[in-house]
Amino acid sequence: MRIKPSGDRAIIVEFGDTIDPALVEQVRHLDHQIASALGSDPHGGLKGVLETVPTFRSLAIVFDPLVTTPDAVADAIASLPASDATSSVREYRCWNLPVIYGGEHGPDLEAVAQAANITPQQVIARHTNTPVSVYLLGFMPGFAFMGDTDTRLHLPRRTEPRVRVPAGSVGLALTLTAIYPWQSPGGWHLIGHSPVPLFDPDRKPAALLAPGDRVRFRAVQADEHQDLVAQSRLAAMDLSQFLEVTDE
C-alpha cells in the first residue's frame, strides 16, 4: 500500500498497477473501513474526510484542508486495524439486468463471435452466464466498469471508435463490460442494449450501480425489451424488480 499526496485536499492510496479483482477488493475493503470509521467516530483521526473515490487499483480520499492535513489523513489510514480483505462478510447488491442482444442493438455481436471463434449464441451465453462486479464509476455519470468477463470475450477496444454510441448500449473491451448511460462517443464492442436507466439526477443516489455491486445479465426478446423501453421513457420502471441482496 502506497500513500501519495494529490493536491492540497486529497491523498491517493495505491495498491498496484493492474486491473486485478484482488486489487479491486483491497480498494473496496479500505473504502468500507473508512466509511465504518467515519460512521462510528466522525471526530476521530479521519475527521475532515469528505469523500472517497475508488478506482481499479487505488482509492482517492478527499478532505477539507481547513480541518485536517494530508499527513493526518495518511496517518489515520495507516493506523486502521489490519484485516484480510477477502475474509470479511458483507452484504452486497446483485442486479439482474435485461439485455437484448444483436441486430440493431448489438451491431458488433457477429464480429465479437468471429474474433472469439465462437457463435453469436455462445457470446450471449458467456455474457449472461458470467456474473461481473462493478469495479468503479467513471468516464461519464453512471458509467460502471464491470469485470471480469468470460475469457473468450476479452478483446481490445475497437480500432475505430464510434462518434455516437446510443444510450443503453452494452459493450465489451479488454476484460470488462459496461452499459453506456448516455449517448456518447465510444470504442467498445457493442453486443446489445439494456433499457434500465443507470443515472437519474432526480434519484437518490443518482447512479443505479455502485462499486462492489454484482451484475448478471439476462437475455430478453424484442417484446419484453420494447415494454421496458416504454416504462423507462415514462419514468414508470420499478427498479427494485432487478435487485436482490445477498451476502459474500
Q: In this structure, what CATH number is given to the domain that contains residue 50?
A: 3.30.1360.40
**Domain at 149, CATH number:** 2.40.100.10
For residues 173-190, give the mean pLDDT: 97
Domain check: are 39 and 127 in the same one? no
Query: Per-residue confidence at 39, pLDDT binned at 50, 70, 90?
Result: confident
Q: Give me 146's grid cell.
A: 464491470
The pLDDT of residue 71: 93
Q: What confidence score (pLDDT) does residue 86 get?
A: 52
Give the per-residue pLDDT at 89. 46
Of 12, 44, 78, which closes a domain? 78
Clarify whether residues 109 and 173 are in a common domain: yes
pLDDT digits (tens, 9 = 90+) for 41-100: 888 889 999 999 999 899 999 999 999 999 999 999 998 887 655 545 456 799 999 999
Predicted TM-score of the model (pTM):
0.84
Last residue of a domain, one of 78, 113, 135: 78
The parent domain of residue 69 ranges over 2-78
| 202 inside domain | yes
* pLDDT for 167: 97
Determine the average pLDDT of the residues in 111-119.
98
Contact 53, 211 (CB under 8 A): no
Total domains, the chain: 2
Residue 85 belongs to some domain of the structure: no
C-alpha cell at 31: 473504502
| pLDDT top residue among 1 and 189 | 189
Check whether 136 has a pLDDT greater than 70: yes
% of the chain residues with pLDDT over 70: 94
142 shares its domain with 210: yes
CB-CB contact of 60 with 70 (8 Å)? no
How many whole angstroms separate alpha carbon 99 and alpha carbon 34?
35
What pLDDT is attached to residue 195? 97
What pLDDT, on the 0 to 100 scale, is given for residue 51? Answer: 94
Whether 35 and 133 map to the same domain: the answer is no
Same domain, 36 and 97: no
E strand or H helix at 229: helix 222-233
In a domain, 83, yes or no: no
Instruction: Answer yes or no: do 113 and 73 share one domain.
Output: no
With cut-offs at 50, 70 and 90, classify the pLDDT of residue 186: very high
Residue 87 lies in a domain: no
**pLDDT per residue over 197-240, tens digit each?**
999 998 889 999 998 899 999 999 999 999 999 999 888 899 99
| 53, 173: one domain | no
The secondary structure of 42-85 as a DSSP string is TTSTTTTEEEEEE-SSEEEEEE-TTT--HHHHHHHHHTSPP--T
E strands within the chain?
2-5, 10-14, 49-54, 58-63, 91-101, 132-137, 144-147, 162-165, 169-173, 176-179, 184-186, 189-193, 214-219, 243-247
Half-sphere exposure of 103 (CA within 13 A, CB side): 7
Radius of gyration of the chain (CA): 20
Is residue 12 within 8 Å of 4, Cβ to Cβ? Answer: yes
Q: Residue 36 is inside which H or E element, if any?
A: helix 21-40
Whether residues 101 and 71 fall in one domain: no
Of the residues 24, 47, 78, the one at which a domain ends:
78
Amino acid at position 22, single letter: A
27/99 same-domain check: no
Mean pLDDT of 106-130: 98
**Mean pLDDT computed over 13-23:** 89
Q: Let me know whether 200 and 131 are in one domain.
A: yes
